[in-house]
C-alpha cells in the first residue's frame, strides 16, 4: 500500500516537472524568436541606410551623366556572424557604359563576402541565380566557417 502511494507521488511529481520543463523551453524559444525578429528589423534599417548612402541621388542633380544605383535583394541577421548580411545589386553607369556588381556583404563590418561582376553583355539573371543566391544562402548557413 505504501509503495503504491510512493509510486503515484513520483508519477505526479514527474508529470509536474515535465510540464514545467516543457513550458520553460517554450518561453526560451519565444524569447529567442523575439530577439531574432528584432535583429532582422535592425538589419533592414541598416540596409536601407546603406542603400541611401551608397546610391546617387538624382533628385539633387537630375542632369548627372554618371552615377551609382544600389538595390537590396535580401537582408537577414546571421547569428553565427552576429551581423547583418545583405545581397546587393550595384549598377555603375556613365554616358557610354553600365557595369553591374552583384555582391553579398556584411553590412556591419563592410566586408564583401562574395561578388560577381557583369557588363552589358552578360546575362545578369543567370549570374544572379547561379552564383549570388547560393552564395548568400551559404553565408547564412555556414558563417562560422568563413574567414
- In tens, the pLDDT along 56-106 reads 765 555 566 778 888 888 899 888 788 899 999 888 877 777 778 888 899
Distance CA 82, CA 144 (A): 10
Whether residue 65 lies inside any domain: the answer is yes
pLDDT of residue 71: 86
* Residue spans of alpha helices (H) in the chain: 2-54, 124-127, 133-141
Whether residue 7 lies inside any domain: the answer is no
pLDDT of residue 134: 76
Flag whether the pTM goes above 0.85.
no
pLDDT of residue 46: 94
**Residue 115: Cβ-neighbour burial (10 angstroms; 0-12, 13-18, 19+):** middle
Whether residue 4 lies inside any domain: the answer is no
Whether residue 83 lies inside any domain: the answer is yes
User: In which band, very low, low, confident or very high, does the pLDDT at 139 lie, cut at 50, 70 and 90?
Assistant: confident
Whether residue 14 lies inside any domain: the answer is no
Distance CA 139, CA 123 (A): 24
Among 126, 131, 118, residue whose Cα is nearest residue 87: 131
Whether residue 22 lies inside any domain: the answer is no
Q: Which domain holds residue 111?
A: 30-145
Share of the chain above pLDDT 90, in %: 21
C-alpha cell at 139: 553565408
pLDDT of residue 146: 47
Whether residue 42 lies inside any domain: the answer is yes
Report the number of distinct structural domains present in the chain: 1
At 81, give phi and psi (nearest 5°): -90, -15
Whether residue 13 lies inside any domain: the answer is no
Amino acid at each position: 500500500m505504501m509503495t503504491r502511494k510512493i509510486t503515484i507521488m513520483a508519477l505526479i511529481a514527474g508529470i509536474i516537472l515535465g510540464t514545467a520543463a516543457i513550458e520553460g523551453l517554450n518561453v526560451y524559444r519565444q524569447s529567442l524568436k523575439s530577439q531574432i525578429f528584432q535583429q532582422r528589423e535592425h538589419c533592414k534599417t541598416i540596409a536601407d541606410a546603406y542603400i541611401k548612402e551608397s546610391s546617387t541621388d538624382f533628385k539633387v542633380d537630375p542632369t548627372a551623366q554618371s552615377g551609382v544605383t544600389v538595390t537590396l535583394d535580401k537582408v537577414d541577421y546571421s547569428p553565427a556572424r552576429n551581423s547583418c548580411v545583405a545581397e546587393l545589386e550595384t549598377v555603375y553607369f556613365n554616358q557610354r557604359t553600365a557595369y553591374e556588381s552583384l555582391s553579398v556583404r556584411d553590412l556591419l563590418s563592410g566586408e564583401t563576402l562574395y561578388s560577381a561582376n557583369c557588363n552589358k553583355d552578360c546575362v545578369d539573371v543567370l549570374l544572379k541565380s547561379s552564383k549570388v543566391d547560393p552564395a548568400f544562402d551559404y553565408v547564412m548557413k555556414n558563417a562560422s566557417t568563413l574567414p
